[in-house]
Structure formats: C-alpha cells, structure tokens
Chain A
C-alpha cells in the first residue's frame, strides 16, 4: 500500500515534530511513507472564513498531488474533515481521493488494524476530543484505543471534554472575548484533571489551549497524540 503524508500548513511551519512522529510510527510498523513535496494546505481557513474561490486552487492542488496514493494520512482532525466533508461538495472530482484521506487514528485502527504501536510514555495524560474529529469525522474512541496501549501512560478523564475550546480558526480573532471565555473554561477543566500532558488530534486547537495554559503558567504541556504514540520512553 502506498501511504502518503499530508502534513498540514500549521504542522509544517510550527509543529514539525508531529509530522516526524507520524513518520516514525508508520515506519516502526513496517510501512513505507511518502511525503510529496508539492503539497501545501487544504484550504480550510479560506473556505471556512468565506473565501471559497480562494480555497479552490488548494483543493485542486491536493487532488493533483495525492490522487496516485492508496491512502493519505493527516495528523489533523479538522483538515481531514475539510477534505472528507467539504471537498466532494466543492469539487466533485475530489471525492475518491477525499475518501482515501484518513486522520491518523483512522488509518491505524481501521485501515492498518493496529491499536498497539509499541509506544512508551510514562506521564499522566488527559485527552481533548477536538470538535471536527468528534462530530465531523466521528473518530469516537479511536485515539483513546491507541493511547490505552501505550506503556507507562496514565490516562485521566477530562471534564466537559466534548465542549469546544473556542478556537474555531478565525473565530479566535474575530470574536476574541467569547473565544477567551471558552478557552478559560477549557483550561480550568484541563487543570482540574491534574494531568501533566494534554493530548489532542489537532495542533491548531492545541496551539490555542496550550497558549492559554502557558499564559496561566499551568505547567501542563499540550502535545499532539501522535507524539505520544511515537515516544519510546527513552526520550519523551
């Protein structure tokens, strides 16, 4: 099977560690992965802010770049949701490649049939299911199934876990007061858990919540769950 990585724009620029983690996990499981360098961005920010015409070149580019692969994996719930949910409506020829695009936990659990990826991460971790992964992709407990197999991990439940963190792409900039109020509540729930690490499937939401946790000097680290799955205990 030819697996391609789709490393989202935010990951490429600010969180390369997440893409590196995905690469390591898949290689450790014996798969060859490819990173077609002509990829850019899925166009979610443009499409969701009301700039469909400006998003279209990115949609077409995605189809051109990834059409030849059997499976495309993206470590981002919201970008995967953009591709799977919106692409077929925006650009009907994108439907087949959109259907072969998976969020990491879908690829691992549904396509490759693994839940134990051989990781070790001796920390207390709480998991926030981000909105698009939760309600658009219906990831369910796939990420948790993977995390539960990690050696040494102690998973603690997050209160009001399913409530949005207040990021919402440009929402955080257009409605800063409401966004901040939601963020404050989310950070409080995270701190209530006593966990040292907050995991999620989306670096944009993590940048938002993590940015809030840092601001309050909470000492909680925000980490993409791929990085936990890539950890082997020696360096975490």
Chain B
C-alpha cells in the first residue's frame, strides 16, 4: 500500500504522486455552473440569510477569546509539523491503533477506499450501514459504491438526511442543506420519509422530531456504521468525531462494526494537541463555544461499543498536495467552513457551482490540487482575491496566495494568453507604454467627445464581446482627454 512520501515498493522509483478521484471534479466550468444559482432568487435569499447569521455568530464568539490569534498560530504550527512528518506520524498512528485492537487499511485513491469499505461490510454480513456525516466518504462517493454493491447507506446527520432524501448533493461542508428553507425541507420529508406524520409542520422542532423518530429505528437495527474523523491522534491511535446532534455518537457506539474513512492529513501528533483544535473548530464552524458532542475512541474496548474497528486511511491526491511547498498548507484545513460563510462568491454562486464536495474558498484550492489543476481549471479563478477567507481561517491558510499560485499552473485560453503577452511586451517598456496610452486616447477621443456631447458622460454603455462581459452590468470609463504623464510634462 501507498503511504504518503513512503516508498514501499522497494524499487526506489519515485513516480509522481497520483491524483485523486471521486466527487472532486467540476463537470461544468465554474461560471457556467454558477449562472443558474445566481439567477435563483430563492436560493440566494436562503444562502444570504444562513451565511449572514452564522458569520455573525462566529465573529461574536471569536471576539470573546483573548488569545484567538495565538490559537490560530498554534493550530497552523501543529499542522505544519504534521505535514513535515506525515509518513512518520502515519506509521506511528498505525502502530498505536493496531496495538489498541483496530485494523488499519491504506487506500491510494477513492476507488480503493470504496472497495475496502464494501469488503468489510460484506465480511460483517450486513446489507445496510448507518453513516455519520463525513466529508471523506462524500469525497470518495462511498454511498454510490455501496449502493452498487447492494448495500444501503443511511445518512443520520439531519441535514445530510435531507439532502439524501432529496436526491441532492450537499452544498456546504457543515450545513449540507443550507440551500433549502424549512418549507422546502417539510416538502422533502412529506414526499420521501414514509413514517413522517401526515400533519408535519415546517417548525424546525417538528422537522427534527420527525427525523429523530425515523432515524431511531435505523440506529437500533444497524450492525455496521461508517464514519469519518475530525482528528486522528498519532501517539495514541485515537479517532475523534466532533458533532452537534448526537446521531454520530449513536452510530459510533451501537453497531458491532465501525469503519472510519479518514484522509491522511487528519493526523495530529499528540493527544494534547486536541486542546488547540477543540477550541478553534466549534467557534469557527458553528459559532459555538463548544460543540455538544465530542466522541473519541481508541481501538476496541472489550464488551463496550463496536468490537470490530477499522480505519481506512485515504490518500486520493493528498500526497501530490504535500509535494508542493506553496500548496501544502491546504492540508491544514479542519473543514470548519468559516471561509465559505464569509465568501461573497460562495454566497452568490452556492455550493453546487464548485462541482466538488468541497465548495467555497477551500474547495477552490483543494479540489484543483487533488485532481491536478488542468482538471479543475476554472476553480482557482472563482474568487476575487478579496481575502475574507484568509482572515477567518482558524489555521491561517493563505487561500488568496494559493489561488494565485494555482492560476500560474492553470491552462490559459489562447486568446487570453496572446493578449496578456502583448500587454506585457507593451508595459515593460516605458516608451511603448507611453505610446500605447496616446494611441488608446486617440482611438477613444472622438468616441468620448461624441458620448460626452450627447450624454455628458465619458463612459461606454454597450461593447461587443469580450468587453460585453463588463458592459452588461456597468458602464466603462473611456481614456481621459489627457493622461497623467501628459499633464506632468505640461507643467
């Protein structure tokens, strides 16, 4: 099996790290996929209300913490250390978890990870599993793989359940059903949840109660559970899941077999490192001081909880991210979603526009790195580089810097490249630049004078493609009658 940075083949051949598979590729370029969302006023209102509420909450609880900046620095430093020593820490995790009675599996990519989970479920003699909300299993498209193998997968997180019943995909990493309002959720329950009460109202408490009753039966009958993990502790072999509803704890304790699918970057060196992350994560994600449920398990405890515990460590392109010193901090992400909630582009475009399970600013840098930039070339451009994401990121990932870095690697459209080259040739020479300014002004001069005479404005209202991308919603200023350098020369 392939451990990141560890050559176990014995051949010494260092092939380039493999890229990842699963649902991390954009089927449509971002601008195309964003267009329907931008036009959907209901969706935009839902997103605006939800993100605004949660960013307000986050800002308030973060302001309460006097050493927040120090905590961020500590989080970033621990994660940087993990990235420096990942192969060693993974070996340590495997040894500790194995010693505690867990079985560790290694998966190079999405397909391999799915195969392992299917085989383990079959070996347990089960034809259904209950699931704890998990980004890693979304990423590898585990539900689809299980279904193809004749195994039913039931999501137990409320929002994840809504999305599953709605035959939809999540649009936010923390609030997967953020794009629905409660009337829409009631409608989905009515249609797809056979045991929902006939007079179900759209009160949040009524909806939650219906889901609770529905899920209770599943928890009690399931023999296999599948989870992800927020953290995996190298020195103890402990896995940690942080959640709000308690459904996770039901899955983690009731079934006989527990299979956890964990990205290799989730490692933390020591148990005490949790101190930092259990402060950073809840405040950044749900805007709470502490999340309601934190579950930790270390291998098997005889007579208590699952007696068969498996950990599937997934690479799926992470080694390639690790190999790039500029992109590497992307692996520090703790999936808190703070960057999504402050991103004005996410707020307008919605999560589905990113075409990957990872939307928003983190998705714009993570997905292209996991797949190779050429396969997700529009995502590094799905940002204005406004920097709001970097400001809130609890582990200080410099998202704008990584976006620009990935743009260097993206394949550029031919016409754009030609234009950029010519502009660079002109702008590198003061003489050519001054001449170009004169030329632009001379060209626009009569036009400007004409517009000015007619409308009093020195702006253009309608231009042919590609400038139409600008003039469809804003006027374009014309070159001034006199450039600054001409004014300077004149005095």
The count of residues in chain B whose C-beta lies closer than 8 Å to any C-beta of chain A is 66
A168-B386 in contact (CB<8A): yes
Residue of A nearest to B38 (CB): A177
Contacts of B473 in A (CB 8 A): 176, 179-180, 183-184, 211-212, 215
Alpha-carbon gap, A144 to B293, bound state (A):
45
Q: Tell me, yes or no, whether A143 is within 8 Å of chain B by CB.
A: no
Contact B485 A214 (CB under 8 A): no
Given contacts A13-B479, A58-B424, A180-B472, contact A174 B381 (CB under 8 A): yes
- A69 close to chain B: CB less than 8 A: no
Q: Type the 1/0 row for A126-155, where 1 means its CB is closer than 8 Å to any CB of B.
A: 000001101110000000000000000000
Which of chain A's residues have a CB closer than 8 A to the CB of B349?
178
CB distance from A175 to the nearest CB of B (A): 5
Indicate whether A214 sits within 8 Å of B459 (C-beta atoms), given known contacts A40-B427, A40-B429. yes
> Which residues of B lie under 8 Å from residue A196 when comparing CB positions?
none
Asked if residues A131 and B387 are in contact (CB atoms below 8 Å), the reply is yes
B423 within 8 Å of A by Cβ? yes
Judge whether A181 and B44 touch: CB under 8 Å: yes
Please count how many residues in chain A sit with their CB below 8 Å of the partner chain's CB atoms.
67
**In whole Å, how far is A208's beta carbon from the nearest beta carbon of chain B?**
6
Mark B230-243 against chain A: 1 for CB-CB distance below 8 A, else 0.
00000000000000
Measured in the bound complex, the distance between the Cα atoms of B389 and A230 in whole Å is: 35
Tell me whether chain A's interface is mostly helix, strand or loop, or mixed. Answer: helix
Q: List A residues 35-90 near B (Cβ within 8 Å).
A: 35, 37-41, 43, 45-52, 54-55, 57-58, 61, 86
Tell me whether A14 is interfacial, beta carbon within 8 Å: yes
Interface of chain B: mostly helix, strand, loop or mixed: helix
Judge whether B474 and A215 touch: CB under 8 Å.
yes
**Contact partner, A13, options B345, B348, B457, B480, Cβ 8 Å:** B480
Which residues B440-491 have CB closer than 8 A to chain A? Answer: 440-441, 457, 459, 461, 466, 469-470, 472-480, 482-489
When distances are taken between beta carbons in the complex, the residues of chain A under 8 Å from B226 are none
Beta-carbon contact of B475 and A215 below 8 Å? yes
Interface residues as binary, B400-424 with A (CB distance below 8 Å gives 1, 0 otherwise): 0000100111101000110011011
Q: Would A132 and B387 be within 8 Å (CB), given that A12-B483, A215-B473 are in contact?
A: yes
In the bound complex, CA of A214 to CA of B471 (Å): 11
A180 to B39 alpha-carbon distance, docked (Å)? 11
Is A11 an interface position by the 8 A CB rule? yes
Does B340 reach chain A (CB closer than 8 Å)?
Answer: no
Contacts of A168 in B (CB 8 A): 383-386
Minimum CB–CB distance from B328 to chain A (whole Å) comes to 16
Closest chain A residue, CB of each to CB of B353? A178
**Are B38 and A13 in contact (CB-based, < 8 A)?**
no
Q: Is the CB of B386 within 8 A of A131?
A: yes
Question: How far does the alpha carbon of A6 sit from the alpha carbon of B300 in the complex, in Å?
Answer: 67
Contact between B478 and A14 (Cβ–Cβ < 8 Å)?
yes
**A residues in contact with B416, CB < 8 Å:** 49
Select one of B383, B421, B482 contacting A54, CB under 8 A. Answer: B421
A20 at the interface (CB under 8 A from B): yes
Which residues of chain A in 208-234 are interfacial with respect to chain B, using CB atoms and an 8 Å cutoff? 208, 210-212, 214-215
Chain A positions within 8 Å of B34 at CB level: 175, 177-178
Question: What string of 1s and 0s marks CB contacts (under 8 Å) between A94-107 and chain B?
Answer: 00000000000000
Provide 14 A-B residue pairs closer than 8 Å at the C-beta atoms, listed in order of the A residue: A12-B437, A16-B486, A37-B430, A46-B420, A57-B428, A135-B388, A164-B388, A168-B383, A169-B385, A171-B381, A178-B349, A179-B384, A182-B345, A211-B473
**4 tightest A-B contacts by CB?**
A168-B384, A211-B474, A50-B407, A57-B428
Other than the given A9-B433, A164-B384, A211-B470, 19 more pairs (CB < 8 A) read A13-B440, A13-B479, A20-B484, A35-B484, A41-B433, A50-B407, A50-B412, A54-B423, A57-B424, A132-B385, A171-B383, A174-B469, A175-B382, A180-B472, A183-B473, A183-B474, A210-B477, A211-B473, A215-B461
